[in-house]
Chains A and B, each alone.
Chain A
Amino acid sequence: MNSPDVIVIGAGVVGASCALALTNAGLRVLIIDRGPVASGTSGAGEGNILVSDKEPSPELTLALRSRNAWFEVNEDIGGGFELDGKGGVVISRSETGIAGLKKLAKAQRENGIDAREVNAAELRKLEPHISPTIEYGVYYPQDAQCQPMLAAAQMIRAVKKRGGKFVQGENVIAINSKNGQLTGLTTNKNTYSSPIVLNATGTWAGDIAKLAGSYLPIAPRRGFILVTVPAPELIFHKVYDADYVANIASGEADLQSSAVVEGTASGTILIGASRERVGFKSEFEIPILRQLAQQAISVFPILKELQLLRAYRGFRPYAPDHLPVIGEDGNISGLWHAAGHEGAGIVLAPATAELITAEILGKTPFMDPTPFSPKRFMNQNPSAGVNVAS
């Protein structure tokens, strides 16, 4: 397939979701990745499908649709990626934190989110092992979880079965265009022609935009996750400290972390989440691991008794305004972007794919995509953007 209808660059969850939606819409799709499936950020996260961590905003509208879209995708491709509508619990211990959480939950309820305030007794019914110091929380039945690598792999498997193609191990070295109209791309091994190229390369999306002669200010934000040894089921929901919501929205470079704890289908417990702007720095930093362990124990003292089996880190792609970048490039016609979802790439992927598909086909999308448009960066100075990433 050297001249498909659309080329998707990036075999992560966002690229795979878009490829699936485009294929289902009748287009012939070629996916290209320099590495194997989900070898970037999708393979280094927790599989969050959260609506709870978003304030009423266009992103929340996108997340709400996307959460349901995940269950439709699950149905469509026959599962196989551990999708679990387990629900989330957000807790807070400080007076100001509780007040903020109450306010957030109220605003979320007004925007269609099921957000139920729970007292100490109800909290213990949801999470028997939660710390006795925690007396207030909000329960979000819509929050869910999946295994993101399997999700990407299973969606790409479906794309291939439905006539699409996945080429791995090819590095895109040029985006080709003629008279301002995109004509295809060249990898280190082949040249492919296509009227549409979708850039779904996440943290590396700025590099692809640059290759095409355009500009996207996407930078990495590093996050560590701890994995415990497999344990009997101790934690039943995704449980996190309300500070996590504040951290996501922060533009600070310094390390921020707050407890995010959940079990997985395999019995291990995942402990997150840290965020810091340090570029692609890959060293394991012990103080961060220690801080994550301390915070997790403060929410679930029982975790003291478990052992840390491994730890991993990933780089979340984010734009300066912390909104994803979804839509056609402002400079190059035929170049599209679906990137910069930060820590919400998994939850937002299927709805992102719906927006992209509708716009490419010239149909009316389910929501106004303007807030996510790449065109919002058109008037920015490209040299300033390079510094963001370094």
Chain B
Amino acid sequence: MKPEPARVVVVGGGPAGLSAALNAALSGASVLLIDSSSRLGGQYWRHLPETWLEQSELHLDLDTGLLLISAVANHPKIEIWSGAEIWSATHEDGAATLRLITNGVEKIITTKALVLATGAYDRTLPFPGWDIPGVMTPGGAQSLIKGNGIAVGKRVVVAGSGPFLLPVAAGLAQVGCEVIELLEANSPLRWLKSLPTLIQNLSKIGEAAHYIAIFNRFGVRPKFNRAVVAAHANQDGELESVSIAKIDSNFKIKKIERVKCDVAAIGWGFTADTSLAGALLLKQLVTKDEGVAVLVDENQESSIAGIFAAGEITGIGGSELSIAEGVIAGLAAAKYIGCKAEISNNHHKTRAKKQKFAKALISSYPVKSGWQSWLTDETIICRCEEVKYSKLKFAVTELGATDSRTAKLLSRCGMGMCQGRICGRFVVDLVANESGISPSDISEKERISVGNRPIITPISIELLANGE
């Protein structure tokens, strides 16, 4: 392998990665930005073709995004590899080695300074019928709207928990879907508790007002303490209706009604994509929402010197926090390779403010264990391998699994194409519950190891064989 020039490598083209790349480049560093998507912006700024004029209607801070994308794309010191999938990453002798596939060719790069900004994906919970075509995640619905500008269905139910449901419901309404229900599983009282923090983040209040205006225009009335607890298919196997339940504060069902719809967008916040961090053996921790995050210091540096992390993988917090973290990570990485970069108090203050807001949000939208009572023996738990709940329970009660790894290997939950990205997180909770372990007693190791995959993304056997 030939020696690489001193540079900062940034993985991820969303708010955090773009900010890191730009700030490292502005500090004088050469930057390589690697992104798995074909266009920059990440999930958050998955923008429409430029000819689509009403796009800013769909996305409040798309302008920020477009400016950032264009600044990164036009910066002479930033090289961009889009559509590049990293399949393996290792760290040895002070340098990280990334092996990736781009345009059907494997490339291997080594770098002393690496910024991980791999983002997050929708957190899902299983329920009877969640595998029926027409049931999707809010992120999935949003990328259909933003990527193609098409109405995903006629009658749409948006449900789950968290502030992300609002832009998704608003976006669906604007592209012509009838949003017949917008359901938040938690109570509005939880919001009030975090009001003082919310007021300090006035831009967010403005955002909420914007969505409320859209909902008023399209006649969408948000309801609280309600969840979709089952989905039902018609004869063609497509979504026909959902069961909407009034639920208590622990998510246990109180009363159910059936509502006809052809699309249900359901999500429960986000799960950080820590596969790359796990492959590099970075220290991770369990967050308040029982997710996993990469441990970083005040300059976004991970447990390994020279590897920085920013954005959702250091704890779910939204785009503004991601940008604040990305700026610091980019400066710190540039400084690490000898560039002149100053991380000021202001940088830290901005981040602290956004962190406080993120914390308030997480405590406003918890996922309570009562969701497990929505499942039946027939409910599919692992969609890739079509493993039913009864089979997972058999692995625990009859075959003696008491941890999710053993349950996985005995039931095949999480052994399919997605390698547990969808079901891994909630299988931990289901196995613990079945083994009589309380959620608070689940070990950090158990939750963290779910995201660890030595092969980060599938690679063709031919490319593997032909590599150096």
B417 pairs with A294, CB closer than 8 A: no
CA distance A283 to B90 in the complex (A): 9
A304 pairs with B385, CB closer than 8 A: no
Q: Which residues of chain A come closer than 8 Å to B417, judged between CB atoms?
A: 229-230, 309
Interface size bracket, A side: 35 or more
Interface of B is mostly: loop
Please report which residues of chain B, range 410-444, place their CB below 8 angstroms from some CB of chain A when the two chains form the complex: 410, 412, 415-417, 419
Stretch at the interface among A36-44, A122-130, A342-350: A36-44
A149 pairs with B409, CB closer than 8 A: yes
Rounded to whole Å, the gap between the CB of B466 and the closest CB of chain A is 8
B459, CB-defined interface residue at 8 Å = yes
Q: Which residues of chain A come closer than 8 Å to B99, judged between CB atoms?
A: 286
Do A306 and B402 form a contact, CB below 8 Å, given A266-B412, A297-B465?
A: no
Q: Number of B residues whose C-beta is below 8 Å from A?
A: 31
A34, CB-defined interface residue at 8 Å = no
Rounded to whole Å, the gap between the CB of B36 and the closest CB of chain A is 15
Q: Which residues of chain B come closer than 8 Å to A150, judged between CB atoms?
A: 399, 410
- The 8 Å CB contact of A297, one of B399, B419, B458, B462, is B462
Q: Which residues of chain B come closer than 8 Å to A229, judged between CB atoms?
A: 417, 458
CA distance A293 to B410 in the complex (A): 26
Q: Which residues of chain A come closer than 8 Å to B459, judged between CB atoms?
A: 307-308
Q: Which residues of chain A come closer than 8 Å to B405, judged between CB atoms?
A: 36, 39
- With both beta carbons as reference points, the residue of chain B lying nearest to A153 in the complex is identified as B399
Q: Which residues of chain A come closer than 8 Å to B412, judged between CB atoms?
A: 266
A136-150 interface bits toward B, Cβ cutoff 8 Å, 1 = contact, 0 = none: 000000000000011
A305, CB-defined interface residue at 8 Å = yes
A303, CB-defined interface residue at 8 Å = yes
A303-334 interface bits toward B, Cβ cutoff 8 Å, 1 = contact, 0 = none: 11111111110000000000000000000000
- With both beta carbons as reference points, the residue of chain A lying nearest to B454 in the complex is identified as A284
Rounded to whole Å, the gap between the CB of A324 and the closest CB of chain B is 24
A101, CB-defined interface residue at 8 Å = no
- The 8 Å CB contact of B400, one of A157, A226, A266, A312, is A157
CA distance A283 to B279 in the complex (A): 10
A28-51 interface bits toward B, Cβ cutoff 8 Å, 1 = contact, 0 = none: 000000001111000100000000
B458 pairs with A290, CB closer than 8 A: no
Q: List 8 A-B contacts (CB under 8 A).
A: A37-B406, A157-B398, A230-B417, A271-B461, A290-B465, A293-B461, A306-B460, A307-B461
Rank and list the top 9 A-B pairs by shortest CB-CB distance, nearest first.
A153-B399, A293-B465, A304-B462, A307-B458, A36-B406, A293-B464, A294-B465, A284-B454, A37-B400
Given contacts A156-B400, A284-B88, A290-B467, 17 further A-B contacts (CB under 8 A): A36-B403, A37-B399, A43-B406, A150-B399, A157-B399, A157-B400, A226-B461, A229-B458, A230-B417, A297-B461, A306-B460, A307-B460, A308-B458, A308-B459, A309-B419, A309-B455, A310-B454
List residues of B whose CB falls within 8 A of some A CB: 88, 90, 99, 385, 395, 398-403, 405-406, 409-410, 412, 415-417, 419, 453-455, 458-462, 464-465, 467
